[in-house]
Every structure is written in structure tokens, then in C-alpha cells.
Amino acid sequence: MRLFYCGDVVGRAGRDAVIDNMQKIRSEYKIDVMLVNVENAAHGFGATPSICREFLAKGADVLVLGNHFLNRRDIIPFLDECKTIVRPANIPAINPGKGFIIYELADGRKILVIQVLGRLFMEAVDCPVQAIDKILQQHALGNQVQAVFVDIHAEATSEKLALGYYLDGRVSCVAGTHTHVPTADARVLPAGTAYITDVGMCGDYNSVLGFDIKTPINRLCRRYIDDRLTPANGQGTVFGIFVETDDKTGLAKDIKQVKI
């Protein structure tokens, strides 16, 4: 199976960059499953139903969220309606949406997509390890599904790395998101799981994590935090990963970091 994952989409610059390049990516890498993190797609915080529908119409197969998944109130009913969007799994089950989905390709192959939040330097959530273990007990790699993709949306690089090694050999890929800065450690771990600490963002990199530099500088210099962060609207860049897996084992054959 050939997968592509676009990192956190930030604002219009990120949306335009991904949408403008989605079909090119699908064609060039012969993609079976296109995944997009829409966590910051709506003016930098959360996503709206209309934005999600546009990504799906333009070529995305599965949408992934993060800690801002409820920032836009109109997304709440959409999380239950849409069958191809994933919110964090390690939050109370009373929340709308699902923490994992199984996406079936036209040829019958299936991929399990899971998302969890980290716990270091973030708001309190349930244990990500226990949440993933519970899901994998019912959907084993190479048995019910041909691939398992895990997004860990977290601040701490150590937490992401620890989860990668914990899941090595049990899932196809562990990809970190949330910090918006691409890391240079894309690799296949010893037992066969593709891994990267942070995919990076899709947005204007002439910015501070995708946002106009004025407010972050004010916060840095004056501790002035009343201004709202505004997405930077220059030319967008796509950062993503391409992962190829073995359909027999579900393990990764290759992972490549992609910048467009």
C-alpha cells in the first residue's frame, strides 16, 4: 500500500498548497491512500465542514484532526456524519466522532487510521498507549487490516519517539504532528514501522509556525498575549511523508519526507 500524509494544514496558505498539489502527489507517487491533517485549516484553529468537504472532493481520502478538533462548533455534527475523519482516540468517548476509522480501498484492502494526543506539556488526556492497545486488540496488522497508520499529535519529541519504538512491528507507520516544524528523522524502525517525529506543516513558512510574525514577536518581547494569532498568507509549502508498506505483513518498506 502506498500512503501519503500531509502535515498540519495552517490557514488558507496551507489549504491552497495542499489542494493545488494533491492530484500531482497522487499521480507522481501512485498513491493508494491520501491522508491530510486539517487540525489548523480554519484560520489556524480547527476545521469547518466546508473545508473538510473541499479536501475530500479534491482528492483526500482520510482527514485527521488534533487538539483543536472542537474549536469550530459547526464541526460537531460533521464529526458524526463523516465516515472518513478521525479525532483523538484518548479523550472521553462521549465526544463526537471517532478516534479511529477503517478505510477500505476500491480493491478491498483496508487501512486502520488512529490518532492520539500526547500528554507532556499538553492538556490532560487519557493514556495514548492504552487507547492504541485497545484498538489494536480488535484490529491486528496483517489480519483484519493491511496497514495501520498512527498519528501522535504531541509537543514532546521524546514522547513521540517512545511511542514509535513501543509500536514498532505492530503498526505500519507512526507520524508525529502538532509542532509544525519538520524533523529530519524519517526512517523505518528495526522491527519494520515507518517513523517521523514531526511531519511538518502545510502553510506559509515565512512565519512563526504558520502564523503572522507580529503577534508571536509581541508575546516574546512583552508577554503581551491579547492579540489573536493570524495565519500568514504568503506562498504555502507542503510538507508530507510518503510511506510504502508490504501488503502481506503490513510493515513499512520505505518512508520519504516530501517538500513541495
What are residue 30's phi and psi, to 5 degrees?
A: 50, 55
**Helix, strand, coil content of the chain in percent (nearest 5):** 25, 30, 45
Nearest C-alpha neighbor of 42 from the set 66, 23, 58, 26: 66
Could you give the residue numbers annotated as active site? 68
Q: In sequence order, which residues have a C-beta less than 8 Å from that of residue 110 and are 6 or more positions away?
A: 102, 103, 104, 144, 145, 146, 147
Nearest C-alpha neighbor of 9 from the set 75, 55, 57: 55
DSSP string, 186-224: -EE-TTS-EEES---EEB-SSSBTTB-SHHHHHHHHH--
In angstroms, the Cα distances linking 161 to 91, 156, 189 are 21, 9, 10
SS3 38: coil
In sequence order, the β-bridge partners of residue 65 are none
Residue with cell 487519557: 126
Nearest C-alpha neighbor of 66 from the set 43, 93, 33, 36: 36
How do 201-202 and 194-196 pair as beta strands? Answer: unpaired
Residue 238 C-beta-side C-alpha neighbours within 13 Å: 22
